[in-house]
């Protein structure tokens, strides 16, 4: 696993100053905590750093954890995917909320003529519900995040890469897609699955229990 120059600098800072908080690391690099959030998450997930609440970051660099990171780099998204929860763009916000809770998911994917057109999260539904709109009459297409502003993953992408996307974009899950043409000849993405924080956490636990 290759680290960026900034990530290498973070590792060196932690080695020399452990335990050290994210605020202190950001100050030394003259950056904001938000800028470093993804780097710290990647280094922690890779096992190079160990994070302890209210204490800070430690350097670990354990070979067993690095082996763990290598394992998840070789596992494809298609191997851990779940069934996607999909509704059409014309579905009412009310019906979409009911679907969300019946399926017990945090995100619903929206399609138009068989192609991915949007994503709706619990936060989107909450904003709509408290905004005074009639959720029985408003279609989900009005409140969804539309393409091309949707982060996707493909079946052959590694779980590690998908996890990094989830962290970077601060989402609960990603649609797993394949490129197709619909009946009208339009090119786009067909939703064939989803990968979520829950899928990834379950994978980590399974690997840890088999080592």
Write out pLDDT tens, residues 111-142: 999 999 999 999 999 988 887 778 999 999 99
Distances in whole angstroms, Cα of residue 82 to Cα of each of 91, 126, 178: 22, 24, 15
Class of domain 5-61: mainly alpha
Read off the pTM. Answer: 0.69
- Tell me the pLDDT tens digit for each residue of 179-203: 998 888 889 999 999 999 999 888 8
Confidence of residue 211 (pLDDT cuts 50, 70, 90): low
Return the residue matching tokens 């297409």: 141
Q: Where are the domains of the chain?
A: 5-61, 77-205
State the fold for domain 77-205: CBS-domain (3.10.580)
**Can you tell me the distance from the alpha carbon of 21 to that of 24, in angstroms, rounded to the nearest whole number?**
5
């Amino acid at each position: 696993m290759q680290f960026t120059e900034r990530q290498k600098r973070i590792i060196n800072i932690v080695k020399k100053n452990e335990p050290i908080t994210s605020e202190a690391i950001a100050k030394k690099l003259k950056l904001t905590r938000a800028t470093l959030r993804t780097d710290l998450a990647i280094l922690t997930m890779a096992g190079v750093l160990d994070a302890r609440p209210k204490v800070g970051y430690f350097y670990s660099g354990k070979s067993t954890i690095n082996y763990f990171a290598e394992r998840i780099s070789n596992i494809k998204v298609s191997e851990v995917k779940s069934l996607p929860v999909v509704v059409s763009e014309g579905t009412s916000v009310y019906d979409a909320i009911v679907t969300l809770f019946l399926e017990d998911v945090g995100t619903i994917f929206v399609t138009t003529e068989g192609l991915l057109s949007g994503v709706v999260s619990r936060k989107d539904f909450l904003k709509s519900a408290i905004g005074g709109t009639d959720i029985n009459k408003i279609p989900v297409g009005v409140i969804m995040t539309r393409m091309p502003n949707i982060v996707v993953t493909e079946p052959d992408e590694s779980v590690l890469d998908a996890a990094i996307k989830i962290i970077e974009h601060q989402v609960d899950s990603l649609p797993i897609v394949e490129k197709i043409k619909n009946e009208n000849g339009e090119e786009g993405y067909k939703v064939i699955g989803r990968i979520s924080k829950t899928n990834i956490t379950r994978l980590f636990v399974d690997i840890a229990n088999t080592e």
